[in-house]
């Protein structure tokens, strides 16, 4: 089932979750255990992130070093297939522009379709620290709107080779929204315009970057609606657990953590997890009270905090 269908058919609040593939060299057993732990929460769908390759320095036996390109967390498509077909939970596969050619993207969408997966999240991805070698017969999507356009064309049976239309690949397309604006955008108005371009290209819903103040989300939705965007907007929540995240999350995701939350964490770091859970619980209460139908949790493969946060909201 598509994400938009889950939202349309919902008779009670939906809580969805985002997980990370295991690091290269590790099995998926631990990740499947995480999925098992999520089962009592009755997830309507689970997102599986994707990561482009990175340039790494490898030490050689003779003491020299060389540069190699590797994906740190491969396996997005296969993990989606396992969750979709073993657990019968709908999955959302993340697709990136950065590090992937349009031809590789088309192949990935064909694989996802064969696996019965109907949802993708179209993202530009982080800027690469190296220049990807591109064969003469290959091309790139530079921005998320370009990726959405490619996926939307497949919904009409239009493949890259052209010619006669092929079978349609009917994917529900999600895109990212940024309540505090994308860090590369000069202002929030420009960021909303970029978002509108993604919707006009064919995107079906928006899931937001994590935020810790509901007021930021509500203001974002107002701007989105004022711009004429009417697709569902799903708020993204992250539960803080420790002091390290106070620094790492703003640096990595370019988001703001409220002074009140910082103060609580700094004054009692030994209770960091409990403080984060209480804060997220209040966020969920406020979002549900405003009429939000679906809340998305960035769990980073840590389930216990979200289970405690949602204890009063789930069956």
CB 18 within 8 A of CB 296: yes
For residues 309 and 71, the model is more confident at 309
* CATH number of this structure's domain 3-309: 3.20.20.220
**CA 152/CA 20 separation, integer angstroms:** 26
Each residue of 50-83: pLDDT tens digit? Answer: 987 654 555 666 666 665 556 778 999 999 999 9
pLDDT at 314 > cutoff 70: no
CB 203 within 8 A of CB 122: yes
What was the pLDDT predicted at 134? 72
| Mean pLDDT computed over 79-102 | 96
Give the 3-state DSSP-derived string for the chain, with helices as H, strands as E and coil as C: CCHHHHHHHCCCCEEEEEECCCCCCCCCHHHHHHHHHHHHHCCCEEEECCCCCEEEEEECCCCCEEEEEECCCCCHHHHHHHHHHHCCCEEEEEEECCCCEHHHHHHHHHHHHHCCCCEEEEECCCCCCCCCCCCCCCCECCCHHHHHHHHHHHCCCCCCCCCCCCCCCCCEEEEEECCCCCCCCCCHHHHHHHHHHHHHCCCCEEEEEECCCHHHHHHHHHHHHHCCCCCCEEEEECCCCCHHHHHHHHHHHCCCCCHHHHHHHHHCHHHHHHHHHHHHHHHHHHHHHCCCCEEEEECCCCCHHHHHHCCCCCC
**Structural domain spans, the chain:** 3-309
Smallest CA-to-CA distance from 212 within 271, 294, 269, 275 is with 275
Each residue of 167-183: pLDDT tens digit? Answer: 999 999 999 999 999 99
Question: pTM for the complete prediction?
Answer: 0.93
């Amino acid at each position: 089932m598509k994400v938009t269908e889950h939202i349309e058919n919902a008779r009670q609040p939906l809580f969805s979750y985002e997980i990370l593939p295991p690091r290269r060299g590790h099995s998926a057993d631990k990740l499947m255990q995480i999925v098992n732990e999520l089962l009592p929460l009755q997830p309507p769908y689970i997102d599986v992130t994707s990561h482009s390759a990175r340039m790494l320095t490898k030490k050689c036996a003779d003491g020299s070093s060389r540069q190699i390109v590797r994906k740190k967390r491969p396996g997005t498509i296969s993990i989606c297939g396992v969750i979709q077909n073993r657990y019968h939970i709908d999955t959302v596969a993340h697709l990136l522009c950065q590090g992937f050619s349009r031809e590789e993207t088309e192949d990935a969408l064909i694989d996802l379709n064969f696996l019965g997966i109907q949802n993708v999240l179209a993202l530009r991805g982080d800027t690469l620290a190296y220049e990807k070698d591109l064969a003469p017969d290959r091309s790139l999507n530079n921005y998320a709107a370009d990726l959405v356009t490619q996926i939307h064309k497949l919904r009409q049976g239009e493949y890259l080779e052209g010619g006669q239309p092929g079978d349609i690949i009917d994917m529900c397309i999600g895109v990212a929204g940024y309540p505090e604006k994308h860090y590369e955008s000069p202002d929030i108005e420009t960021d909303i315009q970029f978002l509108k371009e993604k919707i006009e290209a064919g995107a079906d819903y928006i899931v937001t970057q994590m935020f810790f103040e509901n007021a930021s989300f509500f203001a974002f939705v107002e701007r989105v609606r004022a711009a004429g965007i009417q697709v569902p907007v799903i708020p993204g929540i992250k539960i803080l657990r420790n002091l390290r995240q106070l620094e790492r999350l703003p640096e990595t995701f370019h988001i703001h953590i409220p002074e009140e939350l910082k103060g609580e964490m700094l004054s009692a770091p030994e209770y960091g997890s409990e403080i984060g859970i209480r804060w997220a619980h209040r966020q969920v209460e406020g979002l549900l009270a405003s009429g939000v139908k679906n809340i998305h949790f960035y769990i980073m493969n840590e389930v216990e905090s979200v289970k405690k946060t949602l204890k009063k909201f789930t069956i």
